[in-house]
């Protein structure tokens, strides 16, 4: 029983060490993107490589934009996904 339990724990620990990097070219930044004027000066040192996070902003045309960034192993950011949210008016 103990060797099976130790083996299971070892497998779970090794599975948690797996890092994923996004190998795609990413999307071109637009005004409002975090990477629009180049990579941010501060490095994201506490977030693991391969993790993703969202960023919401209003673009130059007044549209609400949601972008998803992925942290690369060199701590740079890649825009993996961009979605334009529909504009809602008060009566809708």
Number of domains in the chain: 1
Q: Which residue has the tokens 């960034």?
A: 69
Q: What phi, psi does 12 have (nearest 5°)?
A: -65, -40
Q: What is the spatial distance between Cα 75 and Cα 61, in angstroms, rounded to a whole number?
A: 30
Average predicted confidence (pLDDT) for the chain: 81
pLDDT at 90: 73
**Whether the predicted pLDDT of 92 surpasses 90:** no
Give 17's pLDDT tier (boundaries 50, 70, 90): very low
Which residue range is the domain that position 63 belongs to? 21-85
pLDDT at 32: 94
DSSP state of 51: -
Q: What is the spatial distance between Cα 25 and Cα 3, in angstroms, rounded to a whole number?
A: 44
pLDDT 10s digits, 34-75: 999 999 888 788 889 999 999 999 999 999 999 999 999 999
Is 42 domain-assigned? yes
Whether the CB-CB separation of 70 and 51 falls below 8 Å is answered with yes
């Amino acid at each position: 029983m103990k060797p099976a339990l130790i083996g299971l724990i070892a497998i779970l620990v090794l599975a948690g060490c797996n890092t994923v990097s996004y190998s795609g070219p990413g999307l071109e930044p637009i005004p409002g993107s975090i990477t629009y004027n180049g990579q941010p000066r501060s490095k994201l040192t506490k977030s693991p490589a391969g993790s993703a996070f969202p960023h919401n902003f209003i673009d130059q045309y007044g549209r609400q934009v949601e972008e998803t960034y992925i942290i690369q192993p060199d701590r740079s950011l890649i825009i993996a996904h961009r979605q334009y949210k529909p504009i809602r008016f008060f009566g809708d």
